[in-house]
């Protein structure tokens, strides 16, 4: 269960995925039943707009390679943090 999340720390894709997950979970539980239908509809509209803004144009030949190179430092930091946490516990 998520008690809190710092949205400012999320990258564009992570933020977009977070919104998609929230919409999916809420949609499965019935926004009308939860009495949040207007807010759900608004978030769904805004999420679609955000998705369009965050979509990386893939017409460039090296776009995929750049995305992979961009992910490498994130993966390295995540791995280092996991290793350090493993030794601390």
Q: What is the mean pLDDT of residues 36-62?
A: 83
Q: Report the distance separating Cα 63 and Cα 55, nearest Å.
A: 12
Residues 42 and 15 reside in one and the same domain: yes
Whether residue 2 has pLDDT greater than 80: no
In a domain, 30, yes or no: yes
Q: Is 11 found in the same domain as 48?
A: yes
45 and 11 in one domain?
Answer: yes
Residue 1 has pLDDT above 60, yes or no: no
CA pair distance 47, 60, nearest whole angstrom: 25
- Say whether pLDDT at 42 is over 90: yes
pLDDT score at 58: 62
Is the same domain home to 44 and 71? no
Of 40 and 89, the one with more pLDDT = 40
Instruction: Flag whether 37 is in a domain.
Output: yes
Indicate if 14 and 49 belong to the same structural domain. yes
Q: Which domain holds residue 27?
A: 7-55
What are the φ/ψ torsions at residue 77 (nearest 5 degrees)?
A: -65, -40
- Residue 14, classed as helix, strand or coil, is helix
13-16, Cβ contacts within 8 angstroms, sequence gap of 24 or more? 13/54, 15/50, 15/54, 16/47, 16/50, 16/51, 16/54
Number of domains present in the structure of the chain:
2
């Amino acid at each position: 269960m998520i008690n809190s999340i710092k949205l400012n720390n999320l990258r564009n894709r992570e933020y977009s995925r977070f919104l998609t997950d929230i919409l999916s979970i809420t949609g499965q539980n019935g926004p009308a039943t939860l009495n949040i239908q207007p807010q759900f509809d608004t978030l769904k509209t805004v999420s679609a707009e955000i998705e369009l803004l965050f979509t990386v144009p893939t017409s460039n030949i090296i776009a995929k390679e750049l995305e992979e190179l961009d992910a490498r430092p994130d993966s390295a930091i995540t791995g280092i943090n996991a290793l350090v946490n493993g030794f601390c516990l």
